[in-house]
Amino acid sequence: MRYVDLLKTTVLLSAASATVLAVVTVIQSNSLGDSLLVLISAGWWVVAALIGSWIGRRLEASPSIARALREAQSTTMLPEQNIGRMLLSRLWPLLLAALVSAIFSFFLPQVAAIAAGFMVIWALAWRHQDRAVTAIEERDGVTFFVTSGSPIKPIKLVRTPGLRRDGGAETWEAT
């Protein structure tokens, strides 16, 4: 799986999880007749959006992504391409957090409200990372792929030859 696709999927899944948890919060609050919880939650979500926007304002790769790109091994062969398994092995903490928060929200709706805010922060903080990686790929004429590995160890990348931008925006050359 291409690394930029994993980054985009992470952002979209975080935003989707935040949306689902926000809906669960509103439904649970409505069933309990607690309108104050919805107002406080909405305030938290606005603060979370501001925090996430502030953290994600930079356009360069974050230190952890820069490290993964720097340590990528060069290869001429694509790694194993089982996208479903790759996504599950890399995004299981996000999915687990969303699922546990949704389950606990049936007893305490505040849990889903708080978790939704953190999912918003995560989605907004990572929103530009795929563009940073794409810029590096275009500059260096490579493509980064995620390799199969342990779901609890850091992501390992491989670097394969790709297309390099040569001068103008429309000029590309094979590497």
Distant-in-sequence contacts of 20-23, Cβ < 8 A, 24+ apart:
20/98, 20/102, 21/98, 21/101, 21/102, 21/105, 21/112, 21/113, 21/115, 21/116, 21/119, 22/112, 22/113, 22/116
pLDDT at 167 over 80: no
Count of alpha carbons within 13 angstroms of residue 114, beta-carbon side = 9
Q: How confident is the model at residue 171 (pLDDT cuts 50, 70, 90)?
A: low
Comparison of pLDDT for 175 and 12, the residue scoring more: 12
Read off the pLDDT of residues 125-150 as tens digits, 9 standing for 90 and up: 999 999 989 988 888 889 999 888 77
What is the count of structural domains for the chain?
A: 1
pLDDT at 139: 87
Identify the domain containing residue 51 by its residue range.
3-174
Mean pLDDT of 137-165: 83
| Max Cα distance, the chain (Å) | 62
Read off the pLDDT of residues 92-103 as tens digits, 9 standing for 90 and up: 899 999 999 999
Mean pLDDT of 118-131: 93
pLDDT at 72: 87
